[in-house]
Amino acid sequence: MVDTVVIPLLKILIVLNATLVAVTYMVLLERKVIAWAQSRLGPMRVGPYGILQPVADAVKLMIKEDITPVRADRWVFTAAPIMSMVPALIVFAVIPFGPTVTIFGHPVPLYITDINVGLLYIVSVASVGVYGIILAGWSSNSKYPLLASLRASAQLISYEIAVTMTLVSVILMAGSLSMVGIVNAQYNQHVWYVFAQPVAFVIVLIGGLAETNRAPFDLPEAEQELTGGFHTEYSGMRFALFFLAEYANMIVVSSVVTTLFLGGWLPPFPNLSVFHFLYYIPSWIWFFIKSFLFLYLFIWIRATLPRYRYDQLMRLGWKVLIPLGIANLIVTGIVKVLMS
Amino acid sequence: MAEAIAFYTLAAFILGFAVLVITTKNTVHSVLFLVVNFLFVAALYVLLGAQFLAVIQVLVYAGGIVVLYLFVVMLVNLKRPPEAHQDPHRMTKIGASLAAAILLEVAVIAFSGYVSAPAATVAPPPVPVTGNTEQVGWLLYTNYLIPFEIASMLLLVAMIGAIILAKREL
C-alpha cells in the first residue's frame, strides 16, 4: 500500500509543487540576470534583493480582473491556457531526478515512473502542447493573436522535426527509449553523450530554444510586429498560465537535455574511483545543478542575442538543422554498426 | 474486473466524443473533440499493454495530423453555407446504407465466432526480444517487412508529391 499508492502520490505532489515554485522563481531569476547583464539592479523592493517578488506577482495576477473578449469563443478561450500548461507539467512524470534510493527502509526511485517509451512520451506530449497556442490565437477573435499563433505553431512544428530526428541518434547510442535507461547507458559506456553526440546536443539545444519560443526565436511575441503575441487578449491569471507554461517548458527542455546529454543524475566522472567522493553529493542535486546551468544559459542568450527574422528562422530550421540532424543520424548508425 | 470497468469507461468516452465530433456545428470545436477522442483511444492502447502504439497515436494523430486539420479549418472560411444538392437527403441515405452494411458485417463476424477461430490455429511468431518497442520493431523488420517498406514508399511518394505541388517550377 505504502509502496504502490502513498509514495507515488507523494512524489507527484512534490514534483508538481517544486516545478511550480521553480517556475515562479525562474521569472525572478530571469529579471535579475537580465538586469545584471544591463548594469541594473532588477527587482529590489519586495523582500531582500526582491526575493519575494514572485509572491507579489502571483497575488497581483490572481486578484486582477479576468477579461474575456465579447466576440471570443468562450470555451476555447478558457481551455487554451490550460492546454498549454498541462503538457508542460505532465512531462515531469518520466524525468529521472535520481536512481532508486532507500528512504526509511523503503526503496524509492527518484522519478515518478520509468516507462519503456519515456523519450517518445516526452516528444508526443510536447507535440500536443502546440494546441494551447493555436487555440489561444484563434479563439481571441483578433488579428494579431491569430497571426502570432500561426507563426508560433509553424515554428514549433518545424523545429519539432529537427529535434525529434536528432533524438533518434541519441536513442541509437543508448539502445533505449527509457529516460532511466539512457542515463544508465551513459554510465555503462563511460561517456556523457554531450561528448559522444556534440552535433545532436547543439541541435537539440537550439531546437529547444525555438520550441519554448525563447529569444532569439521569440518571434511569436515580437512586440514591434504583433503587439504582444498570441496572448494579447488574455489578462489576469489566464495570461499568467501562458507565462508559467513558457517557463515550465524551459525547465522541461533543460531537464531533458540534462538527462540525455549530461548524464542526468550522475556526478562528473562517475566511473573513475578517484572521483568517487562526488557521490557524497546526492544525485538529485547534481541533476538540479546541471539543469540550472541550462536555464542560466537560456537567460544569458536572451540578454545577448537579437531576435531572428522570420525567414531566417525558417531557413535555419529546414535547411540547416533538419539536414544536419539526418546526417548525424546516418553517421551515428554507421559508426554503431562498425563498432559492434 | 478493474480492467473491464476501465475499458467500458474509456469506450463510453470514445463513443461520446465521436458523436460530439459529428454533431457539433462549430468546426473548430469538432476538431478539438477529435483530439480528445484520439487521446482516449491512446488510453485504450495503454490498457491493452501497447505503450508504444499509444505514444505513437498521440504523436502522429493528436499532435500531427489534427494540427493540420485545425490549420485548414481555421484558415478556410466555413461560414458560407454548403452547396445545395439536388437531393438534400442524398448524404443521409448514403450514410445510412454504409452504416447498415458495416453493422451487418460486425454482426456476422460476432455471431459466426470468426474472431476467436484463427487465434487458436495460428501460433504467434517467436519474438526473441523483450520490451514493447523492441517487439514492434522486430516484427516490422521480419514478418511484416514488405508491408512496412510499401508504407514507407507511399509516404515518400506523398512527400515528393507535396513538394511538386508547392514548387511548380523547380
pLDDT means per 10 residues, chain A with 340 residues, are 81 89 89 90 84 87 84 85 90 88 80 86 88 86 83 84 90 88 88 88 90 80 74 83 88 91 85 79 88 91 86 88 92 89
CA-to-CA separations, A152 to A121, A202, A208, B64, B151, in angstroms, rounded: 22, 21, 14, 15, 31
The whole-angstrom separation of Cα A168 and Cα A178 is 13
B55 vs B129: which has the higher pLDDT: B55
Distance (Å) from the alpha carbon of B83 to chain A's nearest alpha carbon:
26
Give the domain extent around A259: 2-339
Give residue-wise pLDDT tens across range A147-175. Answer: 888 888 888 888 888 898 899 999 988 88
Which CATH number covers residue B74? 1.20.120.1200
- B133 and A130 within 8 Å at the Cβ level: the answer is no
The reply to whether B99 falls in a domain is: no
- Indicate the residue of A115, A123, A134 with minimum beta-carbon distance to B51: A115
Q: Per the CB < 8 Å rule, is B58 touching A177?
A: no
| Per-residue confidence (pLDDT) for residue B88, from 0 to 100 | 65
Mutate to test the interface with B, among A131, A156, A314 (most CBs of B within 10 A): A131
| Domain final residue pick, B54, B79, B104 | B79
- Assess whether pLDDT exceeds 90 at residue B27: no
pLDDT of residue A257: 92
Tell me if B101 is assigned to some domain: no
Domain count, chain B: 2
Count the domains in chain A.
1
Inter-residue contact A320 to A326 (CB < 8 Å): no
Cell numbers placing A186:
551513459
Residue B121 has pLDDT above 70, yes or no: no
Average pLDDT of chain B to the nearest whole number: 83
The answer to whether residue B15 sits within a structural domain is: yes
Q: B40: pLDDT confidence band, cut at 50, 70 and 90?
A: very high
Chain A residues whose CB is inside 8 A of the B58 CB are 124-125, 127-128
Work out the pLDDT band at B157, boundaries 50, 70, 90. Answer: very high
Residue A56: Cβ-neighbour burial (10 angstroms; 0-12, 13-18, 19+): middle
User: CB-side exposure of B78: number of CA atoms within 13 Å?
Assistant: 13
Could A127 and B55 be called an inter-chain contact, meaning their C-beta atoms sit closer than 8 Å?
no
Total-model pTM: 0.85
Cα radius of gyration rounded to whole Å, chain B: 21
Alpha helices in chain A (DSSP H): 7-37, 53-63, 74-90, 118-128, 130-139, 143-174, 179-188, 193-196, 198-211, 223-226, 236-261, 283-304, 310-315, 322-339
Greater confidence (B91 vs B158) lies with: B158
Domain span at B36 = 1-79
Residue B59 lies in a domain: yes
CA distance B51 to chain A (A): 7
Q: Is the distance from CB of A302 to CB of A214 less than 8 angstroms?
A: yes
Whether residue B8 lies inside any domain: the answer is yes
pLDDT in tens, A135-147: 888 888 888 888 8
Tell me which residue in B35, B64, B74 faces A138 most closely, judged by beta carbons.
B74
Q: Are A132 and A245 in contact (CB under 8 A)?
A: yes
Q: How far is A92 from chain B (nearest CA, A)?
A: 16
Residues in A closer than 8 angstroms to B74, CB to CB, are 134, 138, 146
- pLDDT the model gives residue B123: 57
B135 inside domain? yes
Question: Which of B59, B79, B99 marks a domain boundary?
Answer: B79
| Inside any domain, residue B116 | no
Q: At B55, which helix (H) or strand (E)? A: helix B51-56
- The reply to whether B17 and B75 lie within a common domain is yes
Minimum distance, in Å, between the CA of residue B39 and any CA atom of chain A? 10
Residue reference for cell 538543422: A321
Does residue B91 sit within a domain? no
